[in-house]
């Protein structure tokens, strides 16, 4: 319990440090951090599935995409969501993600392991196909440009203001997801991850648990999409493509699946490399690829597993040791 509070304090301190420090950095860094924060909501939503329920999804970008496209279409076609009604758009984005996940979940949730991976890939590709080809609605390959960010009392086109908004949403999402995974519901998800059959024998409706987790993850994905649309200023099939889903999955694993915060760390590492390192050296993608490969080979618990590895001295790195420690008794 003691260490749990220490971790919470560390995370709160990190969020506060971001809030204090980032506005004094360059506009490049402010935008970079904003993008990473928005995307890390998606990565955390994936972690609910991957780390806490044991379902590796290869289609999480679909929810980012639907949230982003809802925002962009409403803004450009109906001039909706550019004032106080922005909050309605946030709601719509969350609902759109949840509804899409509720629909996709009917197909996906009964699958397990590799089959879940494949079916989420197929479902994600459905959304990508529509985004890419449905020119009249989505603008096809060119995507949709958002000319302005919402303005309601505060002006979100001001990067620092917008950064605080995204940071606020990020902190709320992290808190909400943390409360969820620590709740009895979250505990039963962990049980499903560890041994689904046993949970079923104990009388749990494991399908329903997984389904609800899937829908919640979709809802947070939708929220990430709304924020992403206004962060990037453009929504295109690029946001829904397979590689974006893969990115989210790699970020979660890089930071450490089943920790929520790990996904955020992974997200910041990847965004940092992709947008900062790439300005310094042309071979940055080798570094990124090598980091992925080495993490998967030698750090099954990701970056969050490093302290554990060090503590155990010459430990074998079996993931079970950590997993068991997370399950509340």
Task: Note the residue count of the chain.
Answer: 329
Among 201, 297, 310, 325, binds another protein (CB under 8 A): 297
Our CB check for another protein shows the closer of 25 and 243 to be 243
Contact 224, 38 (CB under 8 A): yes
User: Minimum Å distance from CB 224 to another protein?
Assistant: 21
290 binds another protein (CB under 8 A): yes
If binding is defined by CB under 8 A, does position 134 make contact with another protein?
yes
CB nearer to another protein: pick between 231 and 239: 239
Cα gap 53→16, rounded to integer Å: 30
Q: Is 126 in the site for another protein (CB under 8 A)?
A: yes
Encoded one letter per residue, x for contact with another protein by CB under 8 A and - for no contact, window 195-224 reads ------------------------------
Judge whether 177 and 159 are in contact, CB under 8 Å.
no
Number of residues in contact with another protein under rule CB under 8 A: 45
Place of tokens 């949840």: 98
Q: CB-wise, 150 or 302, nearer to another protein?
A: 302
Q: Give start and end residues of each alpha helix (H) in 143-205.
A: 159-182, 184-194, 196-201
Q: Which of 11, 18, 19, 117 binds another protein (CB under 8 A)?
A: 117
- Interaction of residue 99 with another protein, rule CB under 8 A: no
What's CA 233's distance to the chain center, in Å? 19
| Contact criterion met (CB below 8 Å) for 159 and 27 | yes
* Segment near another protein (CB under 8 A); pick from 7-15, 88-96, 199-207, 239-247: 239-247
Look-up: residue for tokens 């080798």?
Answer: 286
| Contact assessment for residue 206 and residue 200, using Cβ atoms and an 8 Å cutoff | yes
Q: How far is the CB of 107 from another protein (least distance, A)?
A: 4
| Smaller CB separation from another protein, 223 or 253 | 253
Tokens linked to 61: 């970008």
Tokens of 173: 């999402």
The contacts of residue 22 (CB under 8 Å, 6+ apart) are 29, 30, 33, 163
Which spans of this chain sit near another protein (rule: CB under 8 A)? 50, 56, 58, 106-108, 110-111, 113-115, 117-119, 121-123, 125-126, 128-130, 132-136, 241-243, 246, 249-250, 253, 283, 285-286, 288-290, 292-293, 296-297, 300
């Amino acid at each position: 319990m003691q260490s749990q509070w220490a971790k919470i304090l560390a995370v709160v301190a990190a969020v506060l440090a971001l809030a204090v420090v980032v506005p004094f950095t360059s506009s490049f860094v402010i935008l970079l951090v904003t993008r990473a924060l928005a995307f890390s909501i998606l990565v955390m939503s994936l972690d609910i599935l991957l780390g806490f329920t044991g379902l590796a999804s290869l289609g999480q970008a679909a929810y980012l995409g639907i949230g982003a496209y809802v925002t962009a279409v409403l803004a450009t076609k109906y001039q909706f969501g550019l004032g106080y009604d922005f909050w309605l758009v946030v709601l719509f984005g969350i609902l759109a993600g949840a509804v899409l996940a509720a629909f996709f979940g009917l197909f996906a949730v009964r699958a397990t392991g590799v089959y879940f991976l494949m079916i989420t890939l197929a479902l994600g590709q459905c959304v990508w196909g529509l985004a890419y080809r449905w020119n009249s609605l989505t603008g096809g390959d060119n995507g949709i440009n958002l000319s302005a960010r919402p303005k309601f009392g505060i002006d979100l086109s001001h990067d620092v203001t917008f950064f605080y908004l995204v940071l606020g949403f990020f902190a709320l999402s992290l808190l909400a997801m943390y409360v969820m995974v620590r709740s009895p519901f979250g505990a039963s998800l962990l049980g499903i991850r560890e041994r689904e059959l046993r949970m079923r024998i104990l009388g749990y409706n494991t399908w329903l648990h997984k389904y609800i987790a899937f829908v919640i993850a979709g809802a947070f994905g939708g929220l990430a999409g709304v924020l992403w649309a206004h962060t990037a200023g453009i929504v295109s099939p690029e946001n829904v493509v397979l590689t974006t889903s893969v990115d989210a999955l790699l970020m979660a694993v890089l930071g450490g699946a089943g920790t929520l915060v790990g996904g955020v760390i992974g997200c910041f590492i990847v965004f940092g490399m992709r947008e900062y390192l790439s300005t310094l050296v042309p071979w940055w993608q080798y570094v990124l690829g090598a980091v992925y490969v080495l993490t998967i080979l030698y750090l099954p618990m990701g970056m969050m597993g490093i302290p554990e590895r060090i503590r155990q001295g010459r430990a074998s790195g079996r993931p079970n040791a950590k997993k068991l420690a997370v399950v509340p008794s």
